[in-house]
Amino acid sequence: MRYSGSLGIVEEQEVRPGVWEEVVTEQKVLGKMETGTETRIVDGEIIPRITSTRSVSVPARGLGQQDNRSVRYATYAGKRWTITSVVDQFPNIVCYFGEVYSGPIPAGAS
């Protein structure tokens, strides 16, 4: 199955001398969605926690080995999913989804 979405890339930027902040940008990508499952975990909670074992293969973000720790989330089905691991498979990277992402997002994004 084809994939069209965005990767959330985090960079540390100095906002004032000695003060650093994480700034998120979204990079649109096309790739291939790998098979996977979504699980709803209801631990006596009103709203179930959703996890995923889905992965997506997208073109690498540049030439050579990348520091993929800055890839925090990927969009899929109208949600942002936390990236739990990234595997280099030149010329692509494979991003494995975890839980629904709840961290910082780009300014103006919904």
pLDDT tens figures, 29-65: 999 998 677 677 677 767 677 777 789 999 886 644 5
Residue 110's Cα: distance from chain center in Å?
15
Torsion, Cα of 85, 87, 93, 99 (10° steps): -20
pLDDT at 2: 92
Q: Which two tokens stand for residue 36?
A: 């996977």
Side chain identity, residue 56: V
